[in-house]
């Protein structure tokens, strides 16, 4: 029986550490191991933060499987939610089963520092050993941080300062601040280019001029990102040149969780 089937029928307590570890190693073998993924899909599903909410993840996955569509997760699979190990296993199982039709991007919570501060390390150590947490950290290192699909740029946070040509992202080292900015930066209608974001520990806000320049330089139409929750579960910025989407409902007082269906260059917002 697959790990996720055991979780869904018998609960996480039925899954041994060895079984969970084996799932991680299987997925590492099919992960791309590079910063930038490129696909030519003209219809696909995009999922924002899921933060340990496996039920929120199930809805878009079931839609993708029903319609035979590829799916992109924008990161933040753990921390804060009630079923963090379960949710991570769910998306990993999907990647193993549909490796060429599933993209798992890295979010800012796919890091040791965030997992220590926001609960996932404690969850892993409570049920399993520290060795499993170490394996999960090694998995994070294999996740891509960006995808270009059709004419869309996808990442967890958005665009970094100091990169114009998208191919430069492929060569970023993980210690490079621009690598981190891709997972941490936020859009702002009050900024033209880039400014320091004091709410994010010194990462950046980016504005309309920065987005338009990036899109035009790379012949792209729009950005889809996650990283922030909104009352309606999504928000458009910069004359719809950027869509921010968040997929966990009832999160910090924000009732809606949403995901997006992208088809023929247009984004359609759907309820979780």
Q: What are the residue numbers of the active site?
A: 109
Reading the block at residue 205, the tokens are 């806000």
Residue 197: strand, helix, or coil? coil
Angle, alpha carbons 240-149-58 (nearest 5°): 85
Contacts by 94-102, CB closer than 8 A, 24 or more apart: 94/61, 95/27, 95/30, 95/31, 96/23, 96/26, 96/27, 96/30, 98/70, 98/71, 99/30, 101/64, 101/69, 101/70, 101/71, 102/70, 102/71, 102/72, 102/73
Residue whose pair of structure tokens reads 């891509």 in the numeric block: 144
- Cβ proximity of 125 and 115 under 8 Å: no
Angle at 100 between CA 98 and CA 101, to 5 degrees: 65
Q: Work out the number of other CB atoms within 10 angstroms of the CB of residue 96.
A: 18
């Amino acid at each position: 029986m697959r790990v996720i089937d055991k979780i869904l029928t018998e609960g996480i307590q039925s899954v041994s550490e060895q079984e969970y570890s084996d799932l991680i190693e299987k997925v590492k073998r099919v992960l791309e191991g590079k910063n930038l993924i490129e696909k030519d899909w003209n219809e696909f599903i995009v999922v924002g933060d899921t933060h340990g909410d496996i039920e929120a993840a199930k809805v878009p996955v079931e839609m993708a499987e029903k319609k035979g569509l590829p799916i992109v997760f924008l990161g933040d699979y753990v921390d804060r939610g009630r079923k963090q190990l379960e949710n991570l296993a769910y998306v990993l199982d999907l990647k193993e089963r549909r490796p060429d039709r599933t993209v798992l991007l890295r979010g800012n919570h796919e890091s040791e520092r965030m997992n220590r501060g926001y609960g996932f390390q404690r969850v892993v150590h409570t049920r399993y050993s520290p060795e499993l947490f170490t394996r999960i950290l090694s998995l994070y290192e294999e996740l891509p941080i960006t995808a270009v699909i059709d004419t869309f740029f996808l990442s967890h946070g958005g665009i970094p300062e100091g990169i114009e040509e998208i191919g430069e992202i492929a060569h970023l080292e993980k210690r490079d601040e621009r690598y981190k900015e891709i997972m941490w930066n936020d859009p702002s209608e009050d900024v033209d280019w880039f400014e320091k974001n004091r709410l994010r520990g010194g990462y950046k806000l980016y504005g309309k001029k920065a987005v338009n320049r990036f899109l035009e330089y790379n012949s792209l139409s729009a950005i889809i990102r996650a990283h922030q929750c909104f009352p309606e579960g999504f928000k458009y910025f910069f004359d719809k040149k950027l869509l921010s989407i968040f997929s966990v409902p009832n999160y910090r007082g924000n009732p809606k969780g949403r995901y997006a269906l992208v088809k023929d260059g247009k984004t359609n917002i759907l309820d979780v």
